[in-house]
Amino acid sequence: MRMAEERSDAIRQYLDQQILLLSTLSGMYPVKVIGNQDHLDRLFKAINERGHVVDLQVIDAKGVQLSYVGPHRALVEGKKYHDAEWFNDTLIAGKHVSDVFLGYRNIPHLVVAVTDPLKTYVIRATINSEKFNALLHQAQMGHSGDAFIVNPEGEFQTPSLQGEKELTSAERELLVHHEGTAAQVMGSYLYTTRWIKEGQWMLMIKFKVSESLGSFNERRNNSLMIIAAATIIFMFSAVLLCRYMVGKLERSDRRRANMDQQMIQVEKMASIGRLAAGIAHEINNPLQMITNQAGWIEELLPDEDPALVKNFDEYRDAVSKIKFHVTRAGTITHRLLGFSRRMTTEKECIRVNELIEETISFVENEALSNKITIERELDENLPTTMSDGPQVQQVFLNILNNGLDAVDHDGKIVVSTRADDASIYIEFSDTGPGISPEVMKQIFDPFFTTKEPGKGTGLGMSICYDIMKKLGGKIDVNNKKTGGAIFTITLPLRKMGEPGQEEEGTFGYEGAIS
């Protein structure tokens, strides 16, 4: 019964996540924006890194398709859905999760659809059957066990793990609505059933009773072995502890030797401190990413209608808890970093050359493994300036990461610095293929990426642009005549106490995003 409850909770949460995703999109974008094909293409790439959605479709309130992205574009082109039952259910209820059906594509599929708050359009997503079916594969028990979902008519909504095509007459007798989880023995099988999706589906798990007991006996034996092993270890530890305490008393008069041991321990702790500082530095990036994403969700939640979002308060509380605990972790890492250098998020006097050297050290191992040379042409007389060092360093890191991806193998990246009376200029040039004019026009747009799905979010360069704008500088990109791209960062020269020209940024992110 517990297995059925766990699987039903997993299925419910999975469907709720897909509905929440579509509701978020419908709440963010009006029909003119999301109905644009180019925008929907970029949006699909950004939200579907894990491949849970097969396609995405936008249909206006009259049932006319506005845009579509997915493998079946030719099949659904020009189709109208005003008479489709799922379409009308969505307009009435605001959301809809279908049974498995054929539709225009003549392919069995499951769809999730929601409307925007004004019900001017419907956004529909086809769920990846493999991802959805995988939620049940974990429920199989024994070699002959089975787990599947059926509708009230007994039609399979997910494939049987044992290849069954239809329910037996005895199994159909179980299609009676009931509360919670029910268990019943039929022949040599134990059936566990639970109604899900508001009574529209039944989750059915069956397994042989003999195999169930075999699993229980195996776990019982394993538990007994663990208890026995733990007992032996405890007794052995007690003996060792007693011997240690006796030896400690015998050595109480050896204070001088003990002081020597303490000095060795001090040396060891100093080494651990240096190691901890390095580890803390590596942890900061994922902590920043978690903070950024939690902040993004927190910014989006006020735009949602609490009446349409289930568990709205729980989501808001969860975001607050995430940010609180990440702040705690960040405080610890900042303190650890104090072993090697001082960290601050305030404006300070920065040395650009030192920031570049430190940033290169983050990616140097990756560059060496790909036989990529990073050359430095740094102006030794470069002046200092007042700015936000960590954010400037984040821009450097994003550009270097993109350069490594572009160069791939056996290439070169050159980092150079120079200055005039008003600004500091930092240039990153590589020997990659360069940037096409089409990409150049969109390189700073949010969600635009040339990387394969799952390898980039399309936010890295957009955030770099936003950071430089906020710091009063700018970032430019061009192609070199000899091949490859060159990124130029311009930082204004400012002295202590001099007023800045920073602007409010579009994004609030920090972290390595590509």
What is the pLDDT, as a whole number, of residue 393? 85
- Other CB atoms within a 10 A radius of the CB of residue 141 amount to 18
Q: From CA 291, how far away is CA 504, in angstroms rounded?
A: 19
| Cβ pair 433, 411 in contact under 8 A | no
With CA atoms as reference, report the closest residue to 503 among 470, 474, 475. Answer: 470
Domain count, the chain: 4
Query: Is the domain of 441 the same as that of 413?
Result: yes
Greatest CA separation for the chain: 94
Strand partners, 430: 413
Query: Is the domain of 87 the same as that of 190?
Result: no
The length of the chain is 514
Q: From CA 430, how far away is CA 122, in angstroms rounded?
A: 45
Q: From CA 263, how far away is CA 490, in angstroms rounded?
A: 50
Structural domain contains residue 451: yes
Residue found by looking up tokens 């984040």 in the block: 394
What is the pLDDT, as a whole number, of residue 498? 62
Q: Who wins on pLDDT, 397 or 267?
A: 397
Structural domain contains residue 250: no
Strand partners, 113: 96, 124
**pLDDT tens-digit map of 255-265:** 676 556 545 54
Asked whether residue 247 carries a pLDDT value surpassing 50, the answer given is: yes
What CATH number has the domain bearing residue 86?
3.30.450.20
Q: Which two tokens stand for residue 441?
A: 């026009």
Query: Is the domain of 232 the same as that of 301?
Result: no
What CATH number has the domain bearing residue 221?
3.30.450
Query: Is the domain of 52 the same as that of 117?
Result: yes
Contacts of 152 (CB under 8 A, 6+ apart): 175, 199, 200, 202
Amino acid identity for residue 171 in this structure:
E
Decide which of 131, 165, 184 is a domain's last residue. 131
Q: Who wins on pLDDT, 354 or 288?
A: 354
Strand partners, 186: 189
DSSP state of 98: P
Asked whether residue 254 carries a pLDDT value surpassing 80, the answer given is: no
What CATH number has the domain bearing residue 325?
1.10.287.130
Residue found by looking up tokens 């401190």 in the block: 273
Decide which of 67, 98, 131 is a domain's last residue. 131
Cα 430 from chain centre: 29
Structural domain contains residue 429: yes
Query: Is the domain of 357 the same as that of 488?
Result: yes
What is the pLDDT, as a whole number, of residue 455? 59
What is the pLDDT, as a whole number, of residue 262? 45
Structural domain contains residue 499: no
Output the CA–CA distances (angstroms, integers) from residue 19 to 15, 115, 368, in the order listed.
6, 10, 45
Q: From CA 475, how far away is CA 418, in angstroms rounded?
A: 15
Structural domain contains residue 465: yes
Query: Is the domain of 391 the same as that of 458?
Result: yes
Question: Can you give the pTM of this predicted structure?
Answer: 0.39
Q: The domain containing residue 288 runs over which residues?
A: 258-337
Structural domain contains residue 506: no
Query: Is the domain of 475 the same as that of 389?
Result: yes
Structural domain contains residue 161: yes
What CATH number has the domain bearing residue 429?
3.30.565.10
